[in-house]
Structures are given as structure tokens and as C-alpha cells.
């Protein structure tokens, strides 16, 4: 059985890798971090000009209309180069659910995104376990009134719209959950501390009124929320897969070139075993990520279980592997002037976004119990 990408996806991967290697090198990232800007506009524009932002957008928005596997290819390269751009927010949290469920007017919001002229985002997390929705929406005349708090929202203040999942009129379960396109100015946005340069925010909705046309697809049957939730997890684990890949490459190069007692570190058995552990953690995540992307694209019923397995690997073994990468670098691994710190910060950030390993084990156990 061949688990490799097909030719078209390999070409997409190569295009993204070459562009980001050129545009997001360590010196470029170091210079960007001194600016205090929320993202690197030049890299973002370069991705748009190469057609990479439009790959997963619908054709009527100027995109190629491709799906979860292609999204994974792009985000994995973003993670491998720790590129400071709002690709996860715009593509995974916003574009995927809008493309799948939006009306013609709502899908029109995606056209500027394909050109790198707009940013969108979504609110996947709230206080409590990942994937739970407590924000409410009650009918009010020809619109809705939203109340609740969202956390870990990336690029909230910079976005044209924030996708806000909410339970309509106290409904429970999958039915009754709708996703609303809300203008950031209608909410109260408070910056969150972040391990990365990406701006994170707490978004409070206190009696925010929106029109009926803000409801994604015009229905609240839970389908748009399911798409957003799955895409949020897939996007995060794809980034984590790229992050550990980049960290492993950097660490392997370091131990090959660094000498101790007249020998390269890579020649010591203990170092070799530690590098092997990092590789195993990376491969375990890779397998789950590609399985999740493919099963989501094909519509398999067990996609949530596969994504939960990937999320567990991203929040536990991969985070531990990043600590190992730091350890193998010695003191320089903690130096913020050395590139490894970016991979470590991104890995920790993604682990928090996904809710941590215990959260994922609880989620996986609940999914297995449903099938019993």
C-alpha cells in the first residue's frame, strides 16, 4: 500500500516548501519579530500570488476548490517553516466552513482572501473542554442576539469576520448549533498572552445583535459547526506535524555538526536513541494526520476518532519530543536568537489550543463509548 502523496499533491507541497524556504528563513523571521506586526504581510502576499491561499477556496471565489488533504499539505509546510501568517485562522477556521455551507453572499467573503487582501478567523475554543459550545443565540425579530465568551481566537481584531458557533434558543447536541459571521467591532476583544507572534484574543459577546443573513448557510442544524470543529483540529495537527518535522531536521543537523570529546554528538548512542524517539513521535503524528485528512475528505464516519488520535499525539508525544530537541541542543536550545525556540513555542501553543492530552483522551473515550 502506497501512503505517499500523489504527483499533484507533491507538486503543491514542493511549491509551498520552496516559497517558504525563500520567504521565511531564520533571518527574515528574526527581522519580522522586531516589527511587532501581527503577521508578515509580504509572506502572506507571496502565498496569495503563488495561488496557495486559493487552493482550498471554492472556484466561485477564485480558488481551486480542493479539500482537506490539500489544506493539510499547505498548513504542514507553514508549520515546518514556522511562518507568521494567518493561514490557519483564515483557511481552517473560516474558509472551510464558509465554502462548505455558506450562501452565495457569504462565500463572496472568500474572494479577497484568495488575493491576500483579507483575513478571516473562527472561534473554535471556549472556556472548558475543546469542542464544547456554550455561547447562545436567541431569536430577536429578524435576527439573533449572541451571548458568550470565546477564547484562543487568532487574529480576531485583524479579521473581516469572526465565525462564532452558538447554541440557538437553548438547543442541545448537534441540532440547534449554528455558526454566525460576526464583525469584530461588534464584540469586546481582549488580547490573550501567546507563546508565538500570532495575536490571540478573548472575544466577548454581550448581547451582540446580528441579522438573519449572518447565520452561515441560513440554518442551525449543527453541520457548519461540525465542519468548523473538524477543520480546526485537522489544521492544528497539520501545523504540529510540520513543526516537529522542522524541529527534527534542525536538531539532526545540529548533532551531526556539533562535536564533543572529538566526536560528533550523533555518534553517541544516547543521542541516537533520543533522536530516534523524536522521529517515532513525528511519524506517529504524521500517520494520524494524513489518515484524518483523507478520511475527512472521503466522508468516513470515524473521522472524529482519527482526529482525536492525531490531537493526542500533537499534545503529548510531540510536545515531549520538542523538549528532547531542546535537550539535545544544550543551552543554545533555549536561546531565543536560535531558530529552535520558534518550533518549541508553536508546539506548546498548538497543544494548548487543542486542549491538552487529557482532554483528547476523554474525547476519544467518549467517541469509542458511543460505538459500544
pLDDT, one tens digit per residue, over 250-304 is: 999 998 877 677 787 777 888 899 999 999 999 999 999 999 999 999 999 999 9
What CATH number belongs to 224-371?
1.20.140.10
d(CA 40, CA 68): 25
Tell me the backbone φ, ψ of residue 344, rounded to 5 degrees: -65, -45
155 in the Ramachandran plot: left (φ > 0), alpha (ψ -120 to 50) or beta? left
Nearest residue to 228 via CA among 168, 157, 153, 147: 153
The CATH-assigned architecture of domain 121-221 is Beta Barrel (2.40)
* Average pLDDT taken over every residue of the chain: 93
- For the residues 306-333, what does the mean pLDDT come to? 94
Least confident of 90-99, 142-151, 165-174, 207-216: 165-174
Nearest residue to 236 via CA among 58, 100, 91: 91
d(CA 162, CA 151): 12
d(CA 123, CA 163): 6
Q: Yes or no: say if 115 and 277 are a contact pair by the CB < 8 Å rule.
A: no
Q: Kindly provide the b/e burial profile for residues 250-279, where b requires at least 16 CB atoms within 10 angstroms of the residue's own CB.
A: bbbebbeebeeeeeebbeeeebeebbeebe
d(CA 5, CA 346): 25
- Which residue ranges does the chain devote to CATH 1.20.140.10? 224-371
- Which residue ranges does the chain devote to CATH 1.10.540.10? 7-114
pLDDT at residue 218 tops 80: yes
- Which pLDDT does position 175 carry in this prediction? 45
pLDDT at residue 136 tops 80: yes
Task: Match domain 7-114 to its CATH number in 1.20.1730.10, 2.40.40.20, 1.10.540.10, 3.40.50.150.
Answer: 1.10.540.10
Which band of pLDDT confidence, cut at 50, 70 and 90, is reported for residue 174? Answer: very low
pTM exceeds 0.75, yes or no: yes
Q: What is the pLDDT of residues 3-24, one digit of tens each?
A: 689 999 999 999 999 999 999 9
Which band of pLDDT confidence, cut at 50, 70 and 90, is reported for residue 372? Answer: low
Which band of pLDDT confidence, cut at 50, 70 and 90, is reported for residue 2? Answer: low
Least confident of 35-39, 105-109, 271-275: 271-275
- Which pLDDT does position 271 carry in this prediction? 86
- Which pLDDT does position 121 carry in this prediction? 98
- For the residues 108-122, what does the mean pLDDT come to? 95
- Which residue ranges does the chain devote to CATH 2.40.110.10? 121-221
Amino acid at each position: 500500500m502506497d501512503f505517499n502523496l500523489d504527483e499533484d499533491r507533491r507538486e503543491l507541497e514542493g511549491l509551498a516548501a520552496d516559497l517558504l524556504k525563500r520567504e521565511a528563513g531564520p533571518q527574515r523571521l528574526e527581522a519580522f519579530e522586531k516589527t511587532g506586526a501581527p503577521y508578515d504581510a509580504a509572506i502572506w502576499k507571496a502565498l496569495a500570488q503563488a495561488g496557495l491561499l486559493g487552493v482550498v477556496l471554492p472556484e466561485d471565489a477564485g480558488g481551486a476548490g480542493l479539500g482537506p488533504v490539500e489544506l493539510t499539505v499547505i498548513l504542514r509546510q507553514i508549520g515546518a517553516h514556522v511562518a507568521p501568517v494567518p493561514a490557519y485562522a483564515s483557511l481552517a477556521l473560516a474558509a472551510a466552513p464558509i465554502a462548505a455551507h455558506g450562501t452565495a453572499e457569504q462565500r463572496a467573503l472568500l474572494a479577497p482572501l484568495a488575493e491576500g487582501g483579507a483575513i478571516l478567523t473562527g472561534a473554535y475554543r471556549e472556556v472548558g473542554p475543546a469542542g464544547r459550545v456554550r455561547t447562545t443565540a436567541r431569536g430577536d425579530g429578524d435576527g439573533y442576539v449572541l451571548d458568550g465568551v470565546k477564547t484562543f481566537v487568532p487574529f480576531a481584531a485583524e479579521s473581516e469576520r469572526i465565525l462564532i458557533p452558538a447554541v440557538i434558543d437553548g438547543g442541545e447536541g448537534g441540532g440547534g448549533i449554528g455558526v454566525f459571521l460576526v464583525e469584530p467591532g461588534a464584540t469586546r476583544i481582549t488580547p490573550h498572552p501567546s507563546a508565538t507572534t500570532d495575536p490571540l484574543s478573548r472575544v466577548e459577546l454581550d448581547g451582540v445583535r446580528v441579522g438573519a443573513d449572518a447565520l452561515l448557510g441560513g440554518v442551525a442544524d449543527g453541520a457548519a459547526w461540525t465542519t468548523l470543529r473538524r477543520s480546526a483540529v485537522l489544521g492544528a495537527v497539520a501545523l504540529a506535524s510540520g513543526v516537529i518535522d522542522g524541529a527534527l531536521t534542525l536538531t539532526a543537523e545540529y548533532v551531526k555538526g556539533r562535536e564533543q570529546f572529538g566526536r560528533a554528538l550523533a555518534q553517541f548512542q544516547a543521542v541516537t536513541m533520543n533522536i530516534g524517539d523524536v522521529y517515532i513521535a513525528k511519524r506517529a503524528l504524521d500517520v494520524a494526520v494524513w489518515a484524518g485528512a483523507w478520511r475527512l475528505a472521503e466522508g468516513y464516519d470515524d473521522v472524529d476518532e482519527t482526529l482525536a488520535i492525531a490531537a493526542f499525539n500533537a499534545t503529548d508525544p510531540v510536545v515531549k519530543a520538542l523538549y528532547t530537541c531542546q535537550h539535545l541542543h544544550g543551552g543554545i536550545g533555549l536561546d531565543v536568537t536560535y531558530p529552535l525556540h520558534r518550533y518549541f513555542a508553536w508546539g506548546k501553543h498548538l497543544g494548548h489550543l487543542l486542549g491538552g492530552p487529557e482532554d483528547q483522551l476523554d474525547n476519544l473515550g467518549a467517541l469509542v463509548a458511543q460505538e459500544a
